[in-house]
Structure 1
């Protein structure tokens, strides 16, 4: 891709014009954030012309970014309609969370045996920063750190096949996982589960970590089921 872009939000948080840099990934990341936060709601048609004008980019990098998001499962390329933000049914979400639960339960067991002390310390650092973002009310940065923690635990398992499958599902569930933190009670409950998660990992208690990871995803479904 020859034309690459990055984005800047307007101070009030809405999508703003973007300036050129050498990073195509930033455009993809910005569009992904718009989907996660609901600025581009499920079922929304992505008009290249309108989006390009709104974001200040030409159609070429925008088209490539949309294709990339389609490969992640966040956008659907529909004949005669073009690109549309993917809408998942309640069954789709439940099915994906069920598989994600099984993967994370296994990852927790493996990580307790395979992880280095340094790797565990890195997850602790991510957790501490996530809690800081929670206390500051920074929901998007909290969410991103939350997802990094789950990915890091899976990576600590040392199982590349497991990590690949987990990555696919985690990407498709980004919007769903984000809305699971809507409301102070849901958000606080998720943080408390993460506290248990980190304690179990540091103790290398494979049974406890597996149980907490599984319960966390069961509860994730309960937190989002009325929203899908």
Structure 2
């Protein structure tokens, strides 16, 4: 698959740490949007030319993404875009669903009115991005909503545990919304989640969050 010209050129000069973070974000976006396919070798030379960087910061970024489960580093062969089996996803999604369900239950009790208002605003923006068929914006807002609910739960241990699992399946979560039917269903699910949060319905919100994540799994497996 050929790489397209970047829309996010790296500004210079940047300190090494800032460069690595920016480069990691851009490489992650390329993978999540499907510009590089599962099993494809990471084209290091093309990427260094595209981003105007040396191989050193690029390889630092690849190590970060390898830890997130997006890249496989194979000794003496190079880096490859990670593939995920149905079995692996079937193991990971129920764990993430349970964590999100717990986050919903806690957030219903702990969320401030300001946090609830922000999640409602994000949900409205999610609907708009769907109506405009803006999938990258939709995904970013989707992630922001889930992050906001985790934040509202007030449980730092839960947030960190969730992040460890979420990183490993974020490409699958992104691609789960490719079909129009699933995309529309997901928006409606988010709206019901926001309604349950406003009502501070802990049990209902927990179940909605869990079901939302399991529905993503079903849509991925269904293909």
TM-score, normalised via structure 1 length: 0.89
Displacement after TM superposition at 1:85 (Å) = 1.3
Are positions 1:219 and 2:219 aligned together?
no
How far the C-alpha of 1:218 sits from its partner, in A, is 1.6
1:194 aligns with 2:190: yes
| 1:2-21 matches, cutoff 5 A | 14-16=4-6, 18-21=9-12
Q: 2:110, 2:152 within 8 Å by CA — same for their partners in 1?
A: yes
Cα deviation code 1:97-138 (max 9, x no counterpart)? 010011011111111111111111111122122222111111
1:29-49: CA deviation from partner (whole Å, max 9, x where unpaired): 111111111111111111322
Q: 1:55 — aligned with what?
A: 51
- For 1:201 and 1:102, how far apart are their aligned partners in 2? 17
Q: Which residue of 2 aligns with 1:133?
A: 129
Give 1:8's aligned residue: none
Aligned equivalent of 2:100: 104
Alpha-carbon separation, structure 2, partners of 1:190 and 1:155: 21
Equivalent of 1:163 in 151, 154, 159: 159
Instruction: Give yes or no for contact 2:98–2:210 (8 Å, CA) kept in 1.
Output: yes
Asked if structure 2 preserves the Cα contact closer than 8 Å seen for 1:66 and 1:75, the reply is yes
Does the 8 Å CA contact 1:180/1:223 hold for their aligned counterparts? yes
Higher RCO structure (Cα 8 Å, ≥6 apart): 2
> What whole-Å deviation, never above 9, does each CA across 1:46-101 have from its counterpart, x for those lacking one?
13223212333221221111111112221121112121111111111111101001
Aligned-partner Cα distance in 1 for 2:194–2:93:
21
Which residues of structure 1 form unaligned runs of 5+? Answer: 1-12
Please tell me whether residue 174 in structure 1 is matched to residue 165 in structure 2: no
d(CA) in 1 for partners of 2:207, 2:26 = 34
Runs of 4+ in 1 over 4 A off after TM superposition: none
CA contact (8 A) 1:134 1:142 kept: yes
Asked if the contact 1:45/1:81 (under 8 Å) is kept, the reply is no
Stretches of structure 2 that go unaligned for 5 or more consecutive residues are none
RMSD, aligned CA? 1.7
What is the SS of the residue equivalent to 1:27? Answer: helix
Show the counterpart of 2:76.
80
TM-score (norm. length: structure 2): 0.90
Asked whether the equivalents of residues 10 and 22 of structure 2 are also in contact (C-alpha less than 8 Å), the reply is no
The residue that corresponds to 1:46 in the other structure is: 42
1:122-171 per-residue CA deviation (whole Å, 9 max, x = no partner) reads 11122122222111111011011101111111121111111011112222
Number of aligned residues: 215
